[in-house]
Amino acid sequence: RVSVSSKAALVQPSKIHVRCGESYTVRDLVRALLISSANDAAICLAEGVSGSEWQFARLMNVKARALGCRRSNFTNASGLPDANQYTTATDMYRILKAAYKYPFIRECLSSRYATIHRPSGKEIRLRNHNRLLFGYPIKVHGKTGFTRAARHCFVAVGQLGNRKIYMVLLKSNGKWDDIRKLINYGVSFMPNAQRTSSKIATNRKILPRAKVIKLQRA
């Protein structure tokens, strides 16, 4: 279990509003981080592992280098803006590909909802920020992010049959439209998939949403 510090409790949103002095399991904090983008959970985990967020960022950089990331530098655990923190689409792809090998991370990224509990027993309900988990015909498991400086960001793995598409979107002003374009572009390279992709795009424009979802499920 990891204890909540005052720094974690007071961090900027988004967060699940943990309280100073409470304690949570690592698994619950990872769920909150990956499903609900909880910055307070990120700091709790960092301090639990390394004693401080700064020290944890050093470990992040060591791990990133080991994965082949050469143009990234991390200074905090949450992704909140910092002048010395930066990355590239290629490096984010490398990190996503490594993370997606872990079953628990895949489970979190594919969960539409989850529930964790405060030490008092009160429920904290988590809802995934990934809209594509709700009614989209292709499995897209990923992690959203947003700050005013970075705009809308999204890293994701799309699954169509046995084929995976890795996608990284940075500095977008129209995240969901952009990510659908990336998916359509990616599946167009798969055998017999381009026609299916075109039908999905056409039907979405001319049919009621309920009808589209019914057809997609069929």
| Residue the block writes with tokens 């004693």 | 51
Q: From its phi and psi, is residue 146 left (phi > 0), alpha (psi between -120 and 50) or beta?
A: beta
190: pLDDT strictly greater than 80? no
Please tell me the chain's helix, strand, coil percentages from 3-state DSSP, rounded to the nearest 5: 45, 20, 35
Identify each DSSP E strand in the chain by its residue range: 2-3, 23-24, 113-117, 123-127, 139-147, 151-160, 163-172
Residue 214: how many other CB atoms lie within 10 Å:
11
Helix, strand or coil for residue 160?
A: strand
The encoded tokens of residue 79 equal 């992704």
Give the model's confidence band at 194: pLDDT under 50 very low, under 70 low, under 90 confident, else very high.
Answer: low
- Considering the chain, what percentage of its residues have pLDDT values greater than 70? 92
Identify each DSSP E strand in 13-105 by its residue range: 23-24
Report pLDDT for 193. 55
Give the model's confidence band at 87: pLDDT under 50 very low, under 70 low, under 90 confident, else very high.
Answer: very high
Give the model's confidence band at 35: pLDDT under 50 very low, under 70 low, under 90 confident, else very high.
Answer: very high
Report pLDDT for 131. 93
Report pLDDT for 202. 64
- Considering the chain, what percentage of its residues have pLDDT values greater than 90? 74
Q: What is the pLDDT of residues 158-187, one digit of tens each?
A: 988 778 889 999 999 999 999 888 888 887
199: pLDDT strictly greater than 70? no
| Residue the block writes with tokens 């529930």 | 115
Name the pTM for this structure.
0.83
* Measured distance CA(212)–CA(172) in Å, rounded: 26
Q: What is the pLDDT of residues 107-137, one digit of tens each?
A: 999 999 999 999 999 999 999 999 999 988 8
| Residue the block writes with tokens 């439209």 | 177
Sheet holding 151-160, edge to edge: 139-147, 151-160, 163-172
Helix, strand or coil for residue 128?
A: coil
Give the model's confidence band at 216: pLDDT under 50 very low, under 70 low, under 90 confident, else very high.
Answer: confident
Give the model's confidence band at 142: pLDDT under 50 very low, under 70 low, under 90 confident, else very high.
Answer: very high
* Measured distance CA(65)–CA(163) in Å, rounded: 27
Task: Name every residue whose Cβ is closer than 8 Å to that of residue 97 and which is 6 or more positions away in sequence.
Answer: 166
The encoded tokens of residue 206 equal 């001319």
pLDDT, mean of residues 199-207: 65
Is the link from the previous residue into 120 a cis peptide, with omega within 30 of 0? no
79: pLDDT strictly greater than 70? yes
